[in-house]
Amino acid sequence: MKIVHLSILLALGASAALKCRSADAATNAPVSAATAAATNAISYAPAVLPGKGLAQHPFLYTGEWDYRGNRDQTIFVVRDGKVAWTYSIPINYTNGTNVTLQELGDATMLSNGNIVFCRKVGASEITPDKKIIWNLDAPQGTEIHSIQPIGLDRVLVTQNGNPAKLMLINTGTGKTEKEFTFPVLNPGASPHVQFRRVHETKEGTFLAAHLRDGKVVEYDANFKEIWSYTTFQPWSATRLKNGNTLITEGPHTILEVNKQGEIVWQFSQEDAPEYKFFVFQEASRLANGDTVVCNWCPYNLKDPKTWPGSVQVLEVTPEKKVVWAMSEWKNPDLGPASSIQLLDEPGVPEDMDQQR
């Protein structure tokens, strides 16, 4: 895979816009889902949502498959209850005569303020002043939905394809320092649903959510399988500091599983019947013990006009109480939720200090 170093924005063909919202967007009052869904007859959440809306946490946010019109796909940074920074790419990527849908997925803000992100057809690192400092393109017939920074000068990239590969790439030299081939049971006609999250753990192992194969597998440093858990359509898997694994199971269940394969905690539709859950994508465990999850709706809600009735992100306590439910579809319209990094969490993101 070729890495191209870039100093200008045009390399991605992206339209980037810095958007700073007024302080009126911030509020400490409960947020009304009815207001967010004022133009729709259907709501999928209580009339008054818990938490402080955009002001609950500072965060980095992306979402895949926002297919409303010819809408750009946008990365958002929210601080102090308002959108502080955005970066957008066209929904379609053109390479010669080939036109491919771009999807924003895995994204992480580094300790230096740069953001590492993937977009299905490739991956990049962008600075706060919107300069792309490196870029890699997925080869024809492959997709990239998972990218993890390893320190400030390396990234772990999962390349869906036949074969599917895991690569550790030095972004300074462009050299692939490690490369492994995934044992994929069902490569399928399309690589699209092979993986969404494959991350290295603090122990130096690799935790892979085999979305199509229906299992979470931990591989050692030599890519030998050392642990696995069978589940339905796992979207993400995160190794927690207590040694357990946090898994989003399709379509909308979060599981915490111990090394013995026992479920020690879970959260699903039955625990919050006042909300409508769709597809749980990324889930992370906070330092205070709460769990944050992205509730992605485009697959279930075929009419995008009904999306604003849904909640994009939830934060739940160990006792399964929803303490934050975010529904932001107008001023600002954040779009569907796939990935969220809370920027008030302790630790260095590229050193795997955070449980996401």
pLDDT at 2: 53
Kindly report the CA angle at 304 between 301 and 309, in degrees rounded to 5? 70
pLDDT at 7: 39
What's the CA gap between 325 and 45, in Å, rounded?
9
Give the sign of the dihedral formed by CA 109, CA 112, CA 114, CA 117.
negative
Would you say 250 and 212 are in contact if contact means Cβ atoms under 8 Å apart?
no
What's the CA gap between 263 and 216, in Å, rounded?
14
* Residue 216 amino acid letter: V
pLDDT at 1: 53
Would you say 218 and 234 are in contact if contact means Cβ atoms under 8 Å apart?
no
Query: Please, is 291 exposed, middle or buried when counting C-beta atoms within 10 Å of its C-beta (0-12, 13-18, 19+)?
Result: buried
b/e code 15-52 from CB counts within 10 Å (16+ = b): ebeeeebeeebbeeeebbbbebbeebeebbbbeebbbb
Tens-binned pLDDT, residue by residue, of the chain (356 aa):
555 554 333 333 443 333 333 333 333 344 455 444 444 448 899 999 999 999 999 999 999 999 998 889 999 999 999 999 999 999 999 887 788 899 999 999 999 999 999 999 999 999 999 999 999 999 999 999 999 999 999 999 999 999 999 999 999 999 999 999 999 988 888 999 999 999 999 999 999 999 999 999 999 999 999 999 999 999 999 999 999 999 999 999 999 999 999 999 999 999 999 999 999 999 999 999 999 999 999 999 999 999 999 999 999 999 999 999 999 999 999 999 999 999 999 999 999 999 99
Give the C-alpha distances (Å, rounded to integers) separating 292 from 113, 224, 313, 341.
22, 31, 7, 9
Number of H helices, E strands in the chain: 1, 29
Both tokens of 198, joined, read: 């494959």
Closest CA relative to residue 237, chosen from 218, 252, 219, 224? 218
Closest CA relative to residue 63, chosen from 82, 93, 40, 86? 86
**CATH architecture of residue range(s) 3-351:** 7 Propeller (2.130)
Would you say 110 and 347 are in contact if contact means Cβ atoms under 8 Å apart?
no
* Residue 170 amino acid letter: N
b/e code 220-237 from CB counts within 10 Å (16+ = b): eeebeeeeebebebbbbb
pLDDT at 11: 39
Write down the residue that tokens 């870039």 correspond to.
6
Would you say 169 and 157 are in contact if contact means Cβ atoms under 8 Å apart?
yes
Cα atoms in the 13 Å half-sphere on the side-chain side of 284:
24
